[in-house]
Amino acid sequence: MSQKELDLSLTAADKEYLLKQVEETIKARLNGDDPPDDVPESEVLREKRGGFVTLKKSGELRGCIGYIEAWKPLYQTVREMAAAAAFDDPRFPPLDIKEWPEIEIEISVLTPLREIDDPEIIEVGRHGLLIRHGSSSGLLLPQVPVEYGWSREEFLAHTCMKAGLVSDCWRRSGCRLFIFSADVF
């Protein structure tokens, strides 16, 4: 990976700003208020970047949605994904105001995707993984295999299954593998 891909350049102030945006966006929606609409001073936060917002309750997943690729400025991506993770993740009912005090927030800011030919390049805990085969695709963030104690092959298999594919699809012709890194906070 290039230095640009590895260096996400987020300062402690940038991270604090993004976490505050997630909190304010979700609280506003829960209270029927307008979400934040300020534009940050930080140039890094105005760059187009992919990102995910993950919500957990008692250590268990409660919502996780994001943009794989850089479609919008990072601060907008985080605001939109905060609302989506809280209220639009199809795996969960919309967040209820009673749950809010128990919610833990995690943000993952992604580097650009890089297609690879050799699965041995994948480093568990460092790389996230996107697998595409035909019209199917599945993505797992870098922290997921660490949380479950998976090996590289298990990580590949679970990413295939998330895409709705057979677990060894990654070995087949026509299957495309992409890696990325993430600043997770």
Model's pTM, two decimal places? 0.85
Amino acid at 135: S
Domain end position, chosen among 66, 95, 110: 110
81 lies in the same domain as 143: no
For the stretch 63-112, pLDDT in tens is 999 999 889 999 999 999 999 999 999 999 999 999 999 999 999 999 99
Tell me the sheet residues that pair with 115.
178
123 lies in the same domain as 88: no
3-state secondary structure of 158: helix
Which domain does 14 fall in, by range? Answer: 3-110
Domain end position, chosen among 110, 141, 171: 110
Tell me the sheet residues that pair with 89.
none
77 lies in the same domain as 16: yes
For the stretch 134-161, pLDDT in tens is 999 999 999 999 999 999 999 999 999 9
Domain end position, chosen among 59, 84, 110: 110
Half-sphere exposure of 91 (CA within 13 A, CB side): 10
CATH assignment of the domain containing 68: 3.30.700.20
**Domain count for the chain:** 2
